[in-house]
């Protein structure tokens, strides 16, 4: 039984426990702040505070008593020359324990043991920092997603502006004529809708005699519907056309061609 035995055993023998508390006290005086388990922090506080109280006397006897526990002469000098003058008239309570939560792995409770006069600011717990960091990370991720989305939209718009329209969707225009119009600077439905039929005929005539037979009379109107996105209306009209020509005009040209052939045969 441990009758009238103060403090935690810390799962160590007496000698091992004393050595641990001496090492932690030395580190505390040297660095003014240490991180350890909550049980060790409480035991170290009970061990180091009486030593600091003795150091306030600043006598040879006090120095010898402290030197029995703190075996680092440099730390002993720092205690008398720096720590004690800073403590001043503080009657006690030289240290402070700040809980940090549990440790990953063994779930041991962690804490910071620090000298109050050297660490007057508050210490934030890692959990709060983690939450704040998580919120900032989420915010940064959302911002990055927004930037990527805007970039995609911009690229899509630029691509739509730079890519030429498929002029072959206009009835009467095939791949070769589409290439001829593109070389002439007509690459979109809008440009085609703003180009007169006579000008288109001139472009076709310059391309060669084989393209003179094409009638571009309805091409600008078809292109206008395509440019405005009226595809249903365009399709309905194209169903009424014949090779891009109005049906009445197509029949008249066919009749004219038949008359010409008949006259040639009569001759």
Output the pLDDT for position 58. 87
Domains and CATH numbers, the chain: 14-119 (3.90.1030.10), 167-257 (no CATH)
Measure the N-to-C terminal CA separation of the chain; round to a whole number of Å: 140
CA dist 46 and 5 (Å) reads 13
CA 11/CA 13 separation, integer angstroms = 7
Give yes or no for a contact between 110 and 35, defined as CB atoms under 8 angstroms apart: yes
The mean predicted confidence, pLDDT, of the chain is 81
Of 216, 222, 254, residue with least CA distance to 238:
222
Beta bridge partners of 111: 36, 99
Give the count of beta carbons closer than 10 Å to the beta carbon of residue 94. Answer: 22
Q: How far apart are CA 202 and CA 212, in angstroms?
A: 9
pLDDT at 49: 94
Calpha distance 83→65 (Å, rounded): 17
Query: With 90 as the cut, is the pLDDT of residue 39 above it?
Result: yes
Q: What are φ and ψ of residue 98, in 5° steps?
A: -115, 115
Segment 55-109, tens digit of pLDDT: 998 899 999 999 999 999 999 999 999 999 988 778 889 999 999 999 999 999 9
**Four-point Cα dihedral 65, 68, 69, 73, nearest 10:** 100
What sign results for the dihedral spanned by CA atoms 73, 78, 83, 89? Answer: positive
Sequence-distant (≥ 6) Cβ neighbours of residue 79 within 8 angstroms: 29, 51, 52, 55, 66, 70
Res. 132 pLDDT band, cuts 50 70 90: low
Residue 14 to residue 20: CA distance in whole angstroms: 10
Which of 30-44, 170-184, 223-237, 253-267 tops mean pLDDT? 30-44
The tens digit of pLDDT for each residue in 187-200 reads: 888 888 888 888 88
Q: What is the pLDDT of residue 161?
A: 52
Q: Is the pLDDT of residue 183 over 60?
A: yes
Angle made by CA atoms 145, 147, 152, in degrees to the nearest 5: 95
Give the model's pLDDT for residue 205. Answer: 81
Cβ atoms 41, 100 nearer than 8 A: no
């Amino acid at each position: 039984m441990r009758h009238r035995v103060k403090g935690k055993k810390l799962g160590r023998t007496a000698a091992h426990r004393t050595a641990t508390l001496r090492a932690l006290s030395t580190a505390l005086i040297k660095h003014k702040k240490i991180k350890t388990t909550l049980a060790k922090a409480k035991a170290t506080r009970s061990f180091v505070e009486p030593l600091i109280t003795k150091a306030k006397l600043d006598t040879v006897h006090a120095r010898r008593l402290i030197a029995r526990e703190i075996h680092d002469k440099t730390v002993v000098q720092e205690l008398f020359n720096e720590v004690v003058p800073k403590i001043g008239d503080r009657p006690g309570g030289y240290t402070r324990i700040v809980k940090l939560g549990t440790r990953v792995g063994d779930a041991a409770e962690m804490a910071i043991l620090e000298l109050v006069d050297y660490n007057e600011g508050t210490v934030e717990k890692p959990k709060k920092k983690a939450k704040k960091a998580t919120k900032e990370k989420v915010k940064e991720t959302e911002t990055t997603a927004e930037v990527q989305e805007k970039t995609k939209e911009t690229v899509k718009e630029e691509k739509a502006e730079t890519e030429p329209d498929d002029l072959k969707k206009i009835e009467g225009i095939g791949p070769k004529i589409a290439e001829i119009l593109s070389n002439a600077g007509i690459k979109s439905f809008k440009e085609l809708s703003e180009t007169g039929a006579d000008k288109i005929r001139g472009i076709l005539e310059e391309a060669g005699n084989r393209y003179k037979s094409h009638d571009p009379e309805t091409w600008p109107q078809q292109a206008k519907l395509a440019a405005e996105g009226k595809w249903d209306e365009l399709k309905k009209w194209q169903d009424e056309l014949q090779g891009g020509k109005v049906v009445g005009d197509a029949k008249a040209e066919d009749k004219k061609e038949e008359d010409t052939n008949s006259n040639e045969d009569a001759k």
